Structure formats: C-alpha cells, structure tokens
Amino acid sequence: MAFPTCRCDSTDEELVTVSIWAPGRVNLIGDHTDYADGLVLPMAIDLGVRIDGVRCGETVELASDNGETASISIHIEDPSTAAPGMAQYVAGVIAEVRPDVGFTGTMTSTLPVGSGLSSSSALEVGLALALGFSGTAVELAQLTQRAEQIATGVPCGIMDQLTIAAGIEGRALLIDCATLDIEPTALPEGATILVVHSGEQRKLVGSAYAERRNQVESAMAAIGPLRDRPASDAEQLDDPATVKRARHVISENARVRQFAEALARADLDDAGRLMVESHHSLRDDFEVSTPGLDALVADLLAQQGVYGARLTGAGFGGCVVALTDPGVDLGGWQVHPSAGAAAISN
C-alpha cells in the first residue's frame, strides 16, 4: 500500500511519522469471566495490525488493506454517528484520546476479521498509540475498552484490550480482572497453540453478549461475587437461565486456576482436559457455542497430538484454540505469545 499523503499544509519537517504494531489475542481459557471480576488466561499473538502514518491536520484518515477507509474529525462530538465498521472504531478512539492533531495513515493486518482474535481491539489500541496516547498498559486498555463500547454499543470486558496492551513475548497472561494484576505464565516446552477458524463469521455477538452479561450481573446482584464460590451457590438462583450462566462463571474461574497450575507442572493432558470442559460449559451452561464450533472441536480432539480444544472469545462463530504437540497440522495458524502493542522503528 502506498504511504499516505497528508492533505494538511504542514511542511515535511514538521510532520511526525509513526509506526505501531498491535497484536491480536487468543484466549486459552477463561471466557465470559472478565466482566464478572474473574480470571482469564489469554496471550497476545504474532498476528496483528500495523499502522503507519503521519500526525497532521484535524482529521484521522485511515486506509485499511481490506479496502475500508475512515475519515473522522478530531473534533467529532458524537462518535456514535460514524458509519458502521472501521469508522466507528476510529471515532471511538478519537473520542477517548481527544488528540490535538490528526493522523493520516494506513493499516495492514494479518488477523482474520470476524474470527474472535480481537482485530477491532488491535485497531483501537494501535490507533490510540498512533494518536499519541501515553500512559500505562492498564490505562491504555481501560481507554480502548471504553472506545470499543462507544463504537459498538456492546458492553465488552477488558480482557482483549488489556492482553493487547500488556502482552509479553513468550508468555501467556493470567489476568485477575478484579485487580487487573497480570501474572506472566510460561507455556511448557513443546506446548503448541493452534488457532483454527470454524468458517462461521461471528454472528449476534452484540445482543447475545449484552444479554449474557446482564444475566451474570443479576446473578451477582442476588448472590454476590461469583469468583471463589462453590458451584452449588448458583443453584440458589430462581431463573433457570441465570443458574446456568452463574454455574459457567463459577466453574470457569476454577478451571483457569487449575489450568495455570497444570501449565506450571507441564501437565498438558490436564490442561487439555480443562480446555474441553471449558468448551462444554460454554456450550451447555453459557450457550454461546454453535454446531460448527462444536463439530470443529470434536474433529480436532480426534486428531493425534491434540490435548484440548475450545471456542475462544465471545463465541457465536469464529475460531477454536487448540493445545497440541509440535508439528500437528490442523490447517489453522500456529501462534506464539507475543509482546504488546508498541511503536516500531522500521
């Protein structure tokens, strides 16, 4: 893609050139727990977005290698008026960063869109840095979480943005979403992470996600925080759907802890078993799987060298993550734990 031309009248010497890399993320275990002050164990991955451009003018103009473009004033008052798609995310980030100067640039991506690998969060975190955000990784994650909520109207948690902002090369991240403490977590020697697309674009994520989050919040309003509770506490709730949602959150938090312990003792069998249990809980209790995701998980588990597989992220389509031996070819992407979003010099 050609390097962007700024249409403002700054001279070349005055322009600040910026290049940012922002990874996607895959969640190994702990889904639909982040907005319940729970535990998650994701990692930033070596697929992501790159943003190149110059800081200038009073608009943010971004051209993506998928053909989409956005052009939004830095003075935009109501970001919800932006056109659907990339422009909404750009508007959400502008509304939160409130830069003094605009940006003209390009975005290239190695992340499959609509796959549940957080391509939109990578765009948000990368663009916030391109617009000059400075602060801690947690502050960057909180700001871009708000940008995502403004852009989509979906009440997402903080896992995606925090993983992308705080990623560590060679480590997964055990995140306590109540304190936002991050424990870098090594993968055992030979543990290989594969991401395989189900072929189903994620659907209905917005409304179904908000409904699930409401149900979890009403469970917490009735019986208190769900982490560290015995699973039997969920059965005290009146509404059968809320019982199931609470049961998932309670059991998933326990699985995240056990998964971290299994990794620490290099027990891939146990780690894989916990991933499969997580998938079943997301399918049966949280009801965010699809027949396509279930079939893909079953197919992967039937292969030699596969310890575990589960849907990853919000569900309703997108990708499955698998823990395997090295050299297993499942037709997806092998991903490695990677560093978080940052400026790059080349």
Among 21, 35, 103, 259, binds ligand GLA (CB under 6 A): 35
Give the residue numbers annotated as catalytic, written as ranges. 160
Phi/psi for 305 (5° steps) reads: 85, 5
Report if residue 42 touches ligand GLA, rule: CB under 6 A.
no
Number of residues this chain uses to bind ligand GLA (CB under 6 A): 10
Report if residue 99 touches ligand GLA, rule: CB under 6 A.
no
All residues at 6 or more sequence positions from 328 whose CB lies less than 8 Å from its CB, including other chains: 192, 194, 303, 304, 305, 306
Contact stretch for ligand GLA (CB under 6 A) within 73-81, 87-95, 153-161, 236-244: 153-161
Three-class secondary structure of residue 118 per DSSP: coil
**Residues linked to residue 196 through DSSP beta bridges, in sequence order:** 320
Report if residue 285 touches ligand GLA, rule: CB under 6 A.
no
Contact 165, 139 (CB under 8 A): no
Contact 40, 159 (CB under 8 A): yes
Which residue lies nearest ligand GLA, judged by its C-beta? 157
Nearer to ligand GLA, 18 or 275 (CB): 275
Nearer to ligand GLA, 220 or 328 (CB): 220
Three-class secondary structure of residue 100 per DSSP: coil
The candidate with the shortest Cα–Cα distance to 30, out of 142, 197, 163, 122, is 163
Cα–Cα dist 170/175, whole Å: 16
- Fill in the per-residue mask, 155 to 174: x = in contact with ligand GLA (CB under 6 A), - = not in contact: -xx-xx--------------
* Least Å from the CB of residue 285 to ligand GLA: 14
Nearer to ligand GLA, 157 or 308 (CB): 157
Q: Which residues bind ligand GLA (CB under 6 A)?
A: 31-32, 34-35, 156-157, 159-160, 313-314
